A and B are shown apart, each in its own frame.
Chain A
Amino acid sequence: MKAFELVNPTDVSGAVSALTAAGREGKLLAGGIDLLSEMKEYIATPSIVVNLKAVSGLNKIESSAKGLKIGALVTLSDIAKHPTIAAKYTALAEAAESVASPQIRHVGTLGGNLCQRPRCWYYRDEHVICLKKGGSKCYAIEGENEYHAILGGGPSYIVHPSDCAPALMVLGASVDISGPKGNRTVSLDKFFILPTENLYKENVLEVGEIVTHITVPAPAAGTTSHYLKIRHKESMDWALSGAAVALTAKAGKVTSAKVVLSGVAPVPWRSPEAEKALIGKQVTTAIADRAGAAAVAKAKPLGGNAYKVPLTRNVVRLAVLHAAGVKG
């Protein structure tokens, strides 16, 4: 790890100004689980690290009739064990619980989970200057690509590593951002960006900007949600493929459906095709399977990850059935 100066602001404006002043030399530290890994590998070499941990007001979960307001510093374990989140925002509790290990969930924050960098092994190798690090090539295209994207890939084929993002997206969440130019609120649907838009970051945050809160509207009556994640190592791993599903039903028919996939695309991947297959229908095993097939209809696997196509189809099918409370 390169030596750095640690700045400890106590409020958001202090953190924004420290980060803005540091410019490209600065990095924001929340739980540090991802950032310290990047720094140990010399993927990130900040000379100034702005520590968010002492900033007040960012570590609370507020729950009201309107919905949830979660501070960016709230840990994943606090989200997983929050009774209201488990009952009403089920996909989010399940997603938080599925992240890594207890040791990581005790420290890792929701803000850090959304803003973590990709886990592509070429990107994470100090000695490989890939497309995402200013090089000219995405080595996954011809290289070892079993964990890479089957949807939305190109020119880089990373997958977005966050489990909480797809769950928050199906629940209609947005993020509050503070930055040098003031505050803004961005729907999570518009927060993540594809490599075609920008190769060097995975979201819309500009230099100096900080996610302060995540807000989730209260789900409409009759809404259920579920997050299903399949991993190589069941005890602790990122998703090979995952699906968050939220369904609102009236008189047995789906009136609103949201499906967002993890582990298969450079962003948490919203699937309007799967959603369309569900709206207006009563969920049956056949309808759920149709949603799964629709979700992967446009998939373009690389040499080593074709297994993700049937896997994702089944993950969507099972997540839909579980969200709808139908036995598969």
Chain B
Amino acid sequence: MSMDDRDQHDPNEPDVSRRQFLRGLSGSLAASAVLATGVEAVPLSPPSPPEPLEPPLAVGPRIKGQVKVRLNVNGQVKTATVEPRTTLLNTLRDDLGLTGAKRICDRGSCGGCTVIADGETIYSCMMLAVDAQGKKITTVEGLGTPEAMSPLQAAFVDHDALMCGFCTPGFVMSCTSLLKHNPDPTETEVKEACAGNICRCGTYPRIFEAVLAAAKRMRGE
């Protein structure tokens, strides 16, 4: 494994990552060493063959390089070109324009990227896009619109259950899933459903209130 191979543009990293920046530095150091010794730089590997125009579908026994995934998101089948290492979160955000799921920790610790897959909440940052094929994915965009919010979304607004709002889509997904499975939760059950979501602004009490109120409304009480 060469250094370059390791650092090849990582679709999971922001455009200029710390790694790429460091690599840029070491690259220029290497170049000046070549100049100083007068040794000519030889390309490490032969130029790669041109990419096929249409990447293959990401199915089958071995998947490598650029591949096309077909994802069922919010009831629609969408395709995107990814690599095996691309996460579902980055595909949603960068390729499908669904930026509701937030990339915060990218390590399965904060809940900002929560989506529902086949009826259960998951962290989309911890699932490969190729592995999300065949699952029914729901993101916050699939729940309601600003004009026609879901009852839970409306309750978040009514109860002022957010401050900066960055964590909100994740909480909304966790609690939407809770209310699907359990229309009459206790406050403890709401807290358990939110155990994998963190709010740095500390809006928890308002969130719990909103969920209980939405549950009540959805039950018609």
Contact = CB atoms under 8 A, between A and B. Distances in A.
A6 B123 contact: no
Given A102-B195, A103-B111, A6 B5 contact: no
A23 B71 CA distance: 32
A103 B121 contact: yes
Nearest to B10: A1
B84 A47 contact: no
Contacts of A77: 120
Contacts of B111: 101, 103
A106 B122 CA distance: 7
Nearest to A8: B61
B187 to A, nearest CB: 14
A47 B63 contact: no
A6 B114 contact: no
Contacts of B87: 36
Contacts of A6: 62-64, 84, 128, 130
A101 B6 CA distance: 31
Contact of B122 (A3, A36, A39, A107): A107
B53 interface: no
Nearest to B196: A101
B120 A37 contact: no
A4 B117 CA distance: 25
Contact of A49 (B84, B196, B197): B84
B139 interface: no
B85 interface: yes
A3 B195 contact: no
Contact of A107 (B8, B64, B84, B126): B126
A2 B128 contact: no
A33 interface: yes
A7 interface: yes
Contact of A5 (B12, B62, B120, B195): B62
Contacts of A104: 108, 123, 126, 196
Given A1-B12, A2-B5, A3-B8, A102 B63 contact: no
Interface string B78-98: 000001110100000000000
Given A8-B62, A47-B1, A103 B131 contact: no
B85 A37 contact: no
Contacts of A100: 108, 196
Given A6-B64, A102-B121, A32 B126 contact: yes
A40 to B, nearest CB: 7
Contact of B120 (A1, A3, A51, A106): A106
Interface in A46-70: 47, 49, 51, 53
B89 to A, nearest CB: 11
A235 interface: yes
Contacts of A101: 111, 195-197
A45 interface: yes
A250 to B, nearest CB: 37
Interface in B19-35: none
Interface residues of A, number: 31
Contact of A103 (B12, B62, B63, B108): B108
A47 B122 CA distance: 26
Interface string A21-51: 0000000000011001101101001010101
Contacts of A33: 108, 123, 126
Contacts of A4: 84-85
B60 interface: yes
Contacts of B194: 235
B162 interface: no
Contacts of B138: none
B160 interface: no
A9 interface: yes
A4 B65 CA distance: 8
B174 interface: yes
A6 B65 CA distance: 10
Contacts of A9: 61
B105 to A, nearest CB: 10
Contacts of B12: 1, 40
B192 interface: yes
A236 B195 contact: yes
B219 interface: no
Contacts of A37: 107-108, 126
Interface of A: 1-9, 32-33, 36-37, 39-40, 42, 45, 47, 49, 51, 53, 77, 100-104, 106-107, 235-236
6 contacts: A3-B83, A6-B63, A37-B107, A101-B111, A103-B108, A103-B111
Interface of B: 1, 5-6, 8, 10, 12, 60-65, 83-85, 87, 106-109, 111, 114, 117, 120-123, 126-128, 130-131, 174, 191-197
Given A6-B84, A106-B122, 5 more contacts: A40-B12, A40-B107, A102-B195, A103-B114, A236-B195
Which 10 pairs between the two chains have the least Cβ-Cβ distance? A101-B196, A6-B84, A106-B120, A235-B195, A5-B64, A6-B63, A103-B196, A1-B85, A103-B123, A101-B195
